[in-house]
Structure 1
Amino acid sequence: MKSIEQSYMDKMTSLQKLTVPKTHKVVVSLLIASVLLTLVILWFTPWIQTAQGNGEVNTLNPKDRIQAISALVSGKIQTWHVREGQKVKAGDPIVTLVDTDIALVDRLNAQLSATQRRHQANQLAVSKVQSNLNRQIDLLEQGLVSQKNVEIAEIKVQDLLAKAAATEAELSVLSVSLARQSIQTKIAPQDGTILRLLSAGNATFVKPGDVLASFIPDGVKRSVVLKVTGLDAPLVQAGHKVRLQFDGWPVFQFSGWPGTALGTFGGIVEFIEPIADQNGHFNIWIKQDFAEHPWPDKRYVRLGSRVKGWVLLEEVQLGYEIWRQLNNFPPVQVHQAKNSANEN
């Protein structure tokens, strides 16, 4: 017994007479076959696994990083010799401080002179009592004086030696104080650029250790530091190739096919920090790969510029990579890939 739907369709005689053109069938078949063939080809297409990270341009050498120009003595800012962004040479003055006590240096000089005279007098007295001690020893051997006279002379020698040592210590303290007061003009340690002046004008009082300005040297050897997740960090090793995209630099990137990328620059993993940050990310330091196109000029990529990077890992099939990404599995480890290649 036919259903109501079947009975209704049997009455649609015009619909049954309609046929799909042969050309349409061929085109649809070709499209379906092309899509299936493309999917099969893509499934077995080689794909480079990557560990992606974001970071910035930095430098490994501490001497090349931003340096703080600090005050060594307390006082007021007398004169700024530079402005922000100014290029300086090694030895150029940056800022001059002046002590709040204007006569302090004069008093230190007077104290130093007085202490020097006192020290000379003590040294002269030591030489005299030493001569007296030697004379008393000779007289003792001749039986002309008693042992007590020799002991009294020895006590005088020790007493004057102690005084001479005390004045010598005072001389050292005064010399250090005077030397610190004499270097109140801070100079540039090497060629570089003044980044910013952190202290205010002439009325500002500064203490020893206060940061007056920041300075960055010239000729910085740039590196890149990227942050990668804890899932990828164990797979990154020193010597791995890296593709870098600098912020503001035009790029056309295929992470799995680095040979087709445009606008990226080469790098090599130098080392991986063994400790994660508070977010569980690891820093990896990357140096320039001189076998490839050089990094952009320092005028365009400066310290602190943002960078995106892809650490190139192992070559796998694209189908496996899609499956791995969907399941959030880690990339293939290096030793696993080598073992699989040996078994094949």
Structure 2
Amino acid sequence: MPFAEHPLEETNPLTAGFHSFRRVQTPRTGRVLARWLAVLGVLTIGAGFLPWTQNIRSTGRLTTLRPQDRPQQVPSTIAGRIVGWHVREGQRVKQGDTLIEISEIKDKYFDPELLARTREQLEAKIAALEQNKGKTVALGNQQQALRAGLAVSLDKARNKVTQNRLKVSSEEAGLRAAENDFAIARRQLDRQEELYKQGLKSLTELEQRRLKFQESTAKRQEADNKLGAARQELTNAELELSSLQAEYQDKIAKSESDRRSAVAYQFDSEGQIAKLRTELANLRIRAGYYAIRAPQDGYVVRALKQGLGEMVKEGEPVLTVTPIAPELAAELYVQPMDIPLLSVGRKVRLQFDGWPALVFSGWPGTSFGTFGGRVAVIDNVDSQGQYRVLVTPDHDLEPWPEPLRVGSGVYGWALLDDVPIWYELWRQLNGFPADFVGSPAEQSGKAKPAKKADKTTEEEQ
């Protein structure tokens, strides 16, 4: 195919006479390439000034914000043997539904009538306590009677002592009268004997006087004996008065000892009654643990024990239950150097496993298949060199997918400040951290004073 002649060559007088110049065509590829490179350079430089949203990237998994919404292992409160299953894996259960039935394996609780017998022991102990209270009252009344009897007996003994003292006084007066009679009789006898010797009195009169003297002597001796007996009776009455108080004190002390023993038995019985009531309550509560029940509405995820007759220990989990509608949250782990850049309420974009997405981390508005969230919790203590951050759904944006399950993977990036692309490239090449920005509350707090200052300026003008 012949080359097309260049229109300029036909009009050029210098090359008009040369046939080769008419046959040669000047290529335009270099100039087109230069033009494209120039346009691409201008676009690249222009793109460098486009806004780019700085972000912190992290990975994690889905969890729940509330602990009660997380998968829960249901334990057996008591040790026992599995005798029946009432659920299967994947079955939906309601709170309080019976999941597993177990039987007793401790010989202490083998008696099927243990609850009734414990109640009988409690009732018998209460009856014994009531009788012991009556005994305590009777002993108290006995002490009052003994004290009253002591007072009467003491008065009686004191009266007897007084009576014996008066008797002693009377016998002493009688003894003095008898001694006077004896002295007079002696003098009369001496005069009779003197007169008899002189012949003035007869022998008969002397013998009569001697008889009178003997009678006076006998009366004096009798009065002396009566005085001695009266003094002995007074001494006995005084001794009886002293021993009477000691005797009654011994009886009162013995009664008081019996009363205190009864009171001590009463307190001991009350303690045993309280212990039996506690044991009875424990037995009633333990009887309710033979059926392992669902702690909340949910689904049976996995059975950790199999078959019938298998033993379970106290506190050992037997199956796992997950709640029906948990409040999901993304659990992300962030490097310590990025923690100062995060704050509660910071916006986060999330990508979930199983949901296709086209992600532009710097342009979240153009990303596809991502979902919005906000930082709800930032741990104060690191976990294996990283800090845990919980992200909840942002209710102002699109909702999270309903089929999401706890434990699935999630990829997230927290949105920071907007900077030019050239600055972000320069920061990445130099390894500098992202720009520090305050929390949304701090930013709004900073913006309000500025507006107020502008308003003040306008008022001054």
The TM-score range, normalised by the shorter chain, is: 0.7 to 0.9
Partner of 1:5: none
- Give the Cα–Cα distance (whole angstroms) in 1 for the partners of residues 41 and 288 of structure 2: 83
Aligned to 1:8: none
Q: What is the CA-CA distance between 1:195 and the residue it aligns to?
A: 0.6
Deviation digits for residues 66-116 of structure 1 (CA, Å, limit 9, x no counterpart): 111111121110001001110011221100001236971425235403421
1:95 and 1:187 in contact (8 A); partners too: yes
Shift in Å, 1:275: 1.5
Task: Show the 5 A alignment for 1:299-314.
Answer: 300-314=403-417
Cα deviation for residue 285 of structure 1 reads: 0.7
Counterparts of 1:34 and 1:281, CA distance in 2: 46
Q: Equivalent residue for 2:133?
A: 127
* 1:14 counterpart residue number: none
Look at both structures and tell me which one has the larger radius of gyration over its CA atoms: 2
**Greater Cα shift, 142-151 or 45-54:** 142-151
Q: Deviations over 1:104-133 (max 9, x none)?
A: 142523540342133123321232123224
| Structural mapping, 1:75-154, within 5 Å | 75-100=80-105, 104-109=110-115, 111-136=117-142, 138-139=144-145, 142=148, 144=150, 146=249, 147-148=252-253, 149-154=255-260
1:90–1:105 distance in 2 versus 1, CA, 3 Å: farther
Q: Which amino acid aligns with 1:152?
A: D
- Name which of 365, 369, 373 aligns with 1:263: 369
Matches within 5 A, 1:165-204: 165-204=271-310
- Does residue 225 (structure 1) correspond to residue 225 (structure 2)? The answer is no
Aligned AA for 1:138? Q
Alignment correspondent of 2:45: 40
Structure 1 316/131 Cα, relative in aligned 2: closer, same or farther at 3 Å? same
Structure 2 SS opposite 1:83: coil
**Range 104-113 or range 326-335, more displaced:** 104-113
DSSP 3-state at the match of 1:334:
coil
Name whichever structure is richer in strand by fraction: 1
Q: CA deviation at 1:140?
A: 5.6
The structure that is helix-richer by fraction is 2
SS at match of 2:73: strand
Rounded to whole Å, the distance in 2 between the matches of 1:77 and 1:199 is 9
Distance 1:54 1:20, change over 3 A: farther
Q: What SS does structure 1 have at the residue aligned with 2:292?
A: strand
Render the CA deviation track for 1:24-52: whole Å, top value 9, x for unaligned: 34312212212221221122111000001
Q: Contact 2:126–2:273 at 8 Å: present in 1 too?
A: no
1:283 maps to 2:283: no
2:193 matched residue in structure 1 = none
The 8 Å contact of residues 129 and 269 in structure 2, kept in 1 or not, is answered as no
1:217-264 CA deviation, whole Å, 9 max, x = no partner?
222111111112222222111111111111110111111011111111
Q: CA deviation at 1:183?
A: 2.5
Query: How many angstroms apart in 2 are the aligned matches of 1:25 and 1:200?
Result: 79
Using the alignment, how far apart are the partners of 1:33 and 1:240 within structure 2? 41
Percent of residue pairs bearing the same amino acid type: 33
For residues 294 and 332 of structure 2, the distance between their equivalents in structure 1, rounded to whole angstroms, comes to 31
Q: TM-score, normalised by structure 2?
A: 0.64
Distance 2:146 2:26 in 1: 142
Compared with structure 1, are the counterparts of its residues 28 and 205 closer, same or farther at alpha carbon in structure 2 (3 Å cutoff)? Answer: same
Q: Paired residue for 1:293?
A: 398
Q: Note the C-alpha offset of 1:137.
A: 5.0
| Residues 133 and 154 in structure 1, CA contact (< 8 A), matched pair in contact too | no
Q: Is the Cα contact below 8 Å between 1:108 and 1:178 reproduced in 2?
A: no
Aligned to 2:437: 334
> Aligned residue for 1:3?
none
Size of the aligned set, in residue pairs, is 318
**Change beyond 3 A, Cα 1:101–1:169:** closer
Native 8 Å contact 2:84 2:101 kept in 1 = yes
Residue aligned with 1:72, SS: coil
Aligned equivalents of 2:427 and 2:57: distance in 1? 15
Give the drift of 1:273. 0.8
SS in 2 for 1:131: helix
2:266 alignment partner, one of 160, 172, 179: 160
CA distance in 1, matches of 2:339, 2:70: 26
Counterpart of 1:191, as a letter, is D
Counterpart CA distance in 2 for 1:110 and 1:296 is 56
The AA in structure 1 aligned to 2:72 is: Q
